[in-house]
Chains A and B, each alone.
Chain A
């Protein structure tokens, strides 16, 4: 009996102690599968080990689209996570829904954490910001399209990686073809050949300051520069200088890994994965080519990938935990760790400096290409774009580009269709905000 009483009091004491030192628990929904997901888990573990007050639990929710949809459904049911990863194309949806998220800049300053947008590298800074330049989402896995090349293939053909598309067309591609390679493939036509095509050449992509200043936006995709580009691309395909393996990302990357394709346009975030695969050739990377006929002063590209949003409707205590997690995440050490493991760019200048001083780029020069390209001179049209229903607009682009490349439609008709359907979608999105 005495023992029983003792047991009860010990149990009560333990429970009281637990309550007093209870950690604030927060959740993080993300779309990082495979090796990336493991790195995400490692970051969470590092955060949990770094202090005793907060615990973060990462949960993998599937693709980017699935994560966003799951987050929306959860929000409507009042069960939203504290942190949600939203990809570039979904940014307008989540930023448009004022009240769904707490702007990251407010979250940090309300919790006494210093925030200076100038600390972030130029290409990353304003992509997830509002029209006044206030940062709404915390850039997380930020990448930019770059050009990977098979060094053995280029050596065999006796060419250098092309700086311009003119050079590719006249010199590089014919030599690579002669050497028995398919000269070029790419993995994301809307991202690489459309969005970043406009940024690289500093062309306006949409009205309203690329869509940042309002919702009555019109897309400006039906322009001569991009139509000339796609005309060239489909000619390359005819001549065996370019191959398209469908809309899927991996289907276009695989032939490069197999050594069939000599030059592949992919994400700077693909670097980590490519280095870990034991490829049968040496590869490197460099800046995305540009058309000299369009501009002689090529500009920076903007980021793709995704950012982290702090969801609204959480207690001050949990928001504090989220803010502390963001502070931890943006620290130079963690950014450098993420950058080195995955190939995604470090988002702050301090992390970039740390990677440089640590000699990361001496060991792997190609790892620096993404950040170099994001740090090129900017222009009026290079900070990003903000368009609603953009997932569907991308689907329209993919559909029409596929039709161009399989000869089902002409470049002229395809861009007219994209312009018409995108503007209809933008008008519909404007009404959802009313």
Chain B
């Protein structure tokens, strides 16, 4: 049997060139540049610079504030990922059971997906407005004196809430289509074996959803780490103050607000390493336990 292939060696290379050059220009080049400037302290205008070796890294690792931001980022990412996935799964399972009007529910639940993160953040700022925000009043009615932008934990809760709200629809779509692709015969067989719908979900549906779930886990961690930037930026109203922030937002605050190019580059290199480690961990350890059909 003859496998299909290119007759010349140049054609495939030529076809790959656009994609490769995009990766090189927009990923490798800036990454290498960031690594280089992380070893320097330089005047933002580009006049003076001093080679400082690993000083940018050591001052970050010895900074208690950077550690606080790291801890917050881990908690934030864990909570946003967990709640986005759990809520979406719950909604998807419930929506999957509904036959009539399913399309309407689906559309309504997907709607939020179209909201851009900064807009979501802005809606959050309005809902939690200190003097007239409806959610602030709701919190007050249960005795929680909610103060966005003043109290660290209150601001963090608002950020998590808005980020989850924004992400649930994406997860919902994937979970719902995952659920609907489970063959009817499998479900019927399970129905005979186990009468408890709760038991059936954990024994049959959940494992079959695992590939979708794993994919969504990666997507959601990436979202919580990086894409929540817009939500955080609007919710702190451009003033970091004593508000919570994630590692990505700190790269922006130090680099683009504070003009500390060296320190900010070192932070982005640390983030790159973190993401690399996370990806390797996920694919090496977690994916082995997932069975694709």
User: Which residues of chain A in 96-134 are interfacial with respect to chain B, using CB atoms and an 8 Å cutoff?
Assistant: 96-100
- The minimal Cβ–Cβ distance linking B118 to chain A, given in whole angstroms, is 13
Whether A391 and B41, one on each chain, are in contact in the complex, defined by CB atoms closer than 8 angstroms, is no
Whether B47 and A258, one on each chain, are in contact in the complex, defined by CB atoms closer than 8 angstroms, is no
Does A434 lie at the interface of the complex (its beta carbon under 8 Å from any beta carbon of B)?
Answer: yes
Q: Which residues of B contact A9 (CB under 8 A)?
A: none
Q: Which of A63, A96, A255, A392 has the most CB of B within 10 A?
A: A392
Given contact pairs A258-B131, A424-B59, A399 touches B242 in the complex (Cβ within 8 A): yes
Give a binary string over A395-434; 1 marks a CB under 8 Å from any B CB, 0 the rest.
Answer: 1001111110110100000000000010011001001111
Whether A406 and B47, one on each chain, are in contact in the complex, defined by CB atoms closer than 8 angstroms, is no
Please, how many angstroms separate the alpha-carbon atoms of A403 and B149 in the complex? 12
Within 8 Å by CB of B48, from A391, A400, A425, A432, lies: A432
Whether A399 and B241, one on each chain, are in contact in the complex, defined by CB atoms closer than 8 angstroms, is yes
Whether B259 and A93, one on each chain, are in contact in the complex, defined by CB atoms closer than 8 angstroms, is yes
- The minimal Cβ–Cβ distance linking A83 to chain B, given in whole angstroms, is 16
Given contact pairs A69-B256, A246-B149, A398-B239, A96 touches B43 in the complex (Cβ within 8 A): yes
Q: Chain A: interface residue count, which band?
A: 35 or more
Does A44 lie at the interface of the complex (its beta carbon under 8 Å from any beta carbon of B)?
Answer: no
Binding site of B, secondary structure by majority: helix, strand, loop or mixed?
loop
Whether A402 and B45, one on each chain, are in contact in the complex, defined by CB atoms closer than 8 angstroms, is no
Does A151 lie at the interface of the complex (its beta carbon under 8 Å from any beta carbon of B)?
Answer: no
Given contact pairs A244-B150, A428-B263, A389 touches B239 in the complex (Cβ within 8 A): no
Give a binary string over B46-66; 1 marks a CB under 8 Å from any A CB, 0 the rest.
Answer: 111110100000010000010
Does A68 lie at the interface of the complex (its beta carbon under 8 Å from any beta carbon of B)?
Answer: yes
Please, how many angstroms separate the alpha-carbon atoms of A398 and B59 in the complex? 21
Binding site of A, secondary structure by majority: helix, strand, loop or mixed?
helix
Please, how many angstroms separate the alpha-carbon atoms of A93 and B118 in the complex? 29
Give a binary string over A375-399; 1 marks a CB under 8 Å from any B CB, 0 the rest.
Answer: 0000000000000010110010011
User: Which residues of chain B in 9-61 are interfacial with respect to chain A, using CB atoms and an 8 Å cutoff?
Assistant: 41-50, 52, 59
Does A251 lie at the interface of the complex (its beta carbon under 8 Å from any beta carbon of B)?
Answer: yes
Q: How many A-B residue pairs have CB under 8 A?
A: 125
Q: Chain B: interface residue count, which band?
A: 35 or more
Give a binary string over B126-145; 1 marks a CB under 8 Å from any A CB, 0 the rest.
Answer: 00001100000000000000
Within 8 Å by CB of A251, from B42, B48, B149, B257, lies: B149
Whether B130 and A245, one on each chain, are in contact in the complex, defined by CB atoms closer than 8 angstroms, is yes
Whether B256 and A65, one on each chain, are in contact in the complex, defined by CB atoms closer than 8 angstroms, is yes
Which partner residue on chain B sits nearest A396 by CB separation? B65
User: Which residues of chain A in 61-117 are interfacial with respect to chain B, using CB atoms and an 8 Å cutoff?
Assistant: 63, 65-66, 68-69, 72, 75-76, 90, 93-94, 96-100
Q: Which residues of B contact A63 (CB under 8 A)?
A: 238
Whether B238 and A246, one on each chain, are in contact in the complex, defined by CB atoms closer than 8 angstroms, is no
User: Which residues of chain B in 226-272 are interfacial with respect to chain A, using CB atoms and an 8 Å cutoff?
Assistant: 237-243, 253-254, 256-260, 262-263
Q: Which residues of B contact A248 (CB under 8 A)?
A: 149, 237-239, 241
Q: Which residues of A contact B147 (CB under 8 A)?
A: 246
- The minimal Cβ–Cβ distance linking B197 to chain A, given in whole angstroms, is 47
Q: Which residues of A contact B258 (CB under 8 A)?
A: 389, 391-392, 395
Whether B259 and A391, one on each chain, are in contact in the complex, defined by CB atoms closer than 8 angstroms, is yes
Does A295 lie at the interface of the complex (its beta carbon under 8 Å from any beta carbon of B)?
Answer: no
Please, how many angstroms separate the alpha-carbon atoms of A254 and B243 in the complex? 20
Q: 14 other contacts beyond A66-B256, A399-B65, with CB at 8 A cut-off? A: A93-B43, A97-B48, A98-B47, A246-B150, A391-B257, A392-B254, A395-B240, A401-B242, A406-B242, A421-B65, A431-B41, A432-B43, A432-B44, A432-B50
Shortest 9 CB-CB distances between A and B: which pairs? A402-B242, A247-B241, A246-B149, A97-B45, A392-B258, A247-B239, A434-B50, A431-B41, A431-B50
